[in-house]
């Protein structure tokens, strides 16, 4: 069968979110092709997309994705020959050994029933919360976004985010790492079913395994969100552009922190990842007290597009706009 390479590649890039590079479940490192489409499941994320498959089989996912991405052809051909999936272009082809028995434990995924329209702002708010969580934390409250009927909350213990909006959902804890891996996929419908949050559009269905454990009590979050005798400050306009450049040298925003120093004369920022680092120091107009902030830049930059106003105490800085409250503990 002949197919458009780019459309096939885009489908593989979406479904790959449900795989592991190593086999943690049977065929969890594979794409599973069936008459219903292409599916992957790693125990935490389930992903499936519509596709007219040439047969029923499992094939190593990461090998297939990388090889298809290297082909320059607009059109390629898929065929099954001698227990292999053969992909052919104009002057090149490759074959991958397939498993014709489907062992992927997708029976662990409940039936989601009728999906409902995602309420305005809900996915954006969940993604904002995921950006400040700590995915590897031993405390599940710091690695999950708390979604309730009236608000969305997240913390890594040093940063706190609360967004007040109607979600149309019951209380649930959504894994931050899983949500961030799906953040670029357009979603217009959702359903919470038996501990799984289903997200989708007309071509793709995704699901993440959630938790129904207890979260922080409202009074505990309120004690953080309410600042005692804060000073209002106007953060410098130049700050957003500085952070935008520094973002190049960050990776997963939940794991990579940046240090921002703000004084009456300048703003300085430093970011670092394994391949290098970035520093910048710019003169600014700022009338508040000197402060040091250690924070993930992506969310902080998002908030600066909404407001440059902040409230500051010796221990914390708070930004608030349109139902969003964000508090960061200040460093020395």
Cβ pair 70, 44 in contact under 8 A? no
Dist. CA 124–CA 145, nearest whole Å: 12
Q: What is the structure's pLDDT at 254?
A: 46
Dist. CA 234–CA 319, nearest whole Å: 10
Neighbours of 142 (CB within 10 A): 20
List of residues 6+ apart from 171 with CB closer than 8 A: 146, 147, 148, 149, 212, 215
List of residues 6+ apart from 315 with CB closer than 8 A: 329, 330
Low-confidence ranges of the chain (pLDDT < 50): 253-254
Please give the DSSP secondary-structure letter assigned to residue 118. P
Dist. CA 88–CA 65, nearest whole Å: 14
Domains of the chain, first to last: 2-108 (3.10.150.10), 117-184+209-222 (3.10.150.10), 227-331 (3.10.150.10)
* Residue 18: Cβ-neighbour burial (10 angstroms; 0-12, 13-18, 19+): buried
Dist. CA 174–CA 210, nearest whole Å: 5
Q: What is the structure's pLDDT at 253?
A: 47
Three-class SS state of 259: strand
């Amino acid at each position: 069968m002949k197919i458009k390479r780019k459309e096939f590649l885009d489908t593989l890039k979406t479904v790959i979110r449900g795989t592991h590079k190593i086999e943690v479940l049977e065929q969890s490192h594979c794409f599973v092709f069936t008459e219903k489409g292409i599916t992957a499941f790693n125990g935490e994320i389930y992903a499936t997309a519509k596709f007219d498959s040439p047969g029923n089989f499992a094939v190593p996912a990461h090998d297939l994705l990388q090889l298809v991405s290297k082909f320059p052809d607009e059109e390629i051909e898929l065929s099954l020959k001698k227990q292999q999936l053969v992909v052919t272009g104009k002057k090149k082809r490759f074959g991958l050994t397939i498993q014709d028995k489907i062992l992927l434990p997708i029976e662990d995924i409940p039936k989601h029933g009728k999906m409902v329209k995602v309420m305005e702002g809900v996915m954006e708010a969940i993604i904002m919360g995921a950006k400040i969580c700590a995915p590897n934390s031993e405390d599940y409250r710091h690695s999950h976004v708390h979604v309730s009927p009236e608000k969305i909350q997240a913390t890594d213990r040093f940063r706190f985010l609360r967004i007040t909006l109607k979600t149309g959902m019951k209380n649930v804890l959504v894994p931050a790492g899983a949500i961030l891996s799906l953040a670029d996929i357009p979603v217009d419908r959702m359903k919470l079913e038996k501990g799984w949050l289903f997200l989708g559009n007309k071509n793709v269905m995704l699901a993440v395994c959630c938790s129904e454990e207890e979260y922080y009590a409202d009074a505990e979050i309120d004690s953080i969100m309410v600042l005692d005798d804060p000073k209002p400050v106007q953060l410098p306009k130049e700050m957003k552009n500085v952070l935008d450049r520094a973002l190049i040298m960050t990776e997963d925003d939940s794991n990579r922190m940046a240090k921002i120093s703000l004084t009456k004369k300048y703003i300085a920022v430093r970011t670092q990842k394994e391949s290098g680092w970035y520093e910048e120091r710019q003169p600014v107009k700022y009338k508040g007290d000197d402060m040091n902030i250690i924070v993930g830049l992506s969310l902080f930059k998002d908030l600066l597009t909404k407001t440059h106003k902040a409230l500051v105490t010796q221990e914390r800085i708070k930004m608030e706009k349109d139902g969003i409250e964000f508090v960061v503990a200040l460093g020395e």
